[in-house]
Amino acid sequence: MTIQFHDETFRDDYTFHNSPEGIRRFPFPFDQDSYMYSVNLEPHAGGKAGSPFEKRFDVDEHYVAEMRDRAITLAEDPLRCQSLPHMELAGWDFLELVMVSKSEDYPELFMLNRDGDRWHWINRPLGIEQRFTFLDATTLPCGPMEYITRQTQGDHALLDQRDGNLWMDAGMVTSQADWSLDFDIGMNFFEWHAPVPKAHELGVFQRALKFLLNLQQGAPSRRLNWTMTVNPRLDTSPENYHKWGPEKRTVAPGNVGAKQYLRVELQTLWRLPRSNAIAFPIRCYLCSLEDLVTVPKWGRRLHRVLRDLPDELAEYKGFAVNRPVILDYLAPFDDGAPTSPGIFPD
């Protein structure tokens, strides 16, 4: 498999773009013509060839550019990566998971040789080669979680399990949908989900926590989540709201197709072996409306979902102010025809 990595930006001039193949592999989050919160977890055990679900950690055409953007964000705000002292072992667990997965799933891009605790890691796309001693943090340039998440797309939270709950005690978060690691660090599962409307009264988080507390090693799960973003900006953090918040007011009928993006998170959950923590990667994918409607099924379905979504969810998902112009743009692509089940293009 050959991936052509894009030279692109997720800020300032916004040169991000999806190739035609990138559009068709986009993880469209709606499997029917309506949406409401649900646990929607399924086994993360492979998937359709070429899709983001096929490999354990998806690597795509945006990999190099996303890692460059992460480095910019971390240079500006180092608190986007934090790990409480008791989470170092979980960091090593996660480093092992990612290195083994990537070297096995993408052998042309990544290599890992292990001789006892002496490890040799090569990341060809980023030009990284590192020899280190596993479980000895002095042999890496930074902590194990930070080291590997500077080379892994998506945000990553490490959750400690204790007292019948999950606690966000470590993370690398630079491409989040309006939440703050610095604010949430040390919070439990219900505390960091407190802002989500409707889901609490539906019992979604109670069911999800019960499932996660029983998550087994070797049996990861996944789900899709979504929101809307103006411009292809990865860092939509509360800390930088003054940069991206005003951009919502720049959408108009003449530019909505290019400026309004569907932002989808592929969330996976992994039980880690030594620490018993849960790794929670949150991989962000972006696709503009004008690209989405090139798949007729998606154009029809997205119009119906956004049209019928309750107002409080439209506000929470970040597009209430632009819903009229978005729906006006999408309406011509909805001819009223039925849509096939599932998320993939016809």
230 CA to centre of own chain:
17
How many angstroms separate the CA atoms of 84 and 96, rounded?
A: 19
DSSP state of 48: S
C-alpha dihedral sign at 177, 178, 184, 187: negative
How many residues make up the chain in this entry? Answer: 346
> Three-state SS across 143-177?
CHHHHHHCCCCCEEEEEEEECCEEEEEEEECCCCE
196 CA to centre of own chain:
17
How many angstroms separate the CA atoms of 212 and 37, rounded?
A: 17
Catalytic residue (one of 223, 249, 283, 300): 223
Is 67 within 8 Å of 59 (Cβ atoms)? no
Asked if 223 is an active-site residue, the reply is yes
Is 199 within 8 Å of 190 (Cβ atoms)? no
Would you call 99 helix, strand, or coil by DSSP?
helix
How many angstroms separate the CA atoms of 237 and 292, rounded?
A: 25
Of 220, 211, 224, 210, which Cα lies nearest the Cα of 272?
220
Q: Which residues carry out catalysis? A: 223
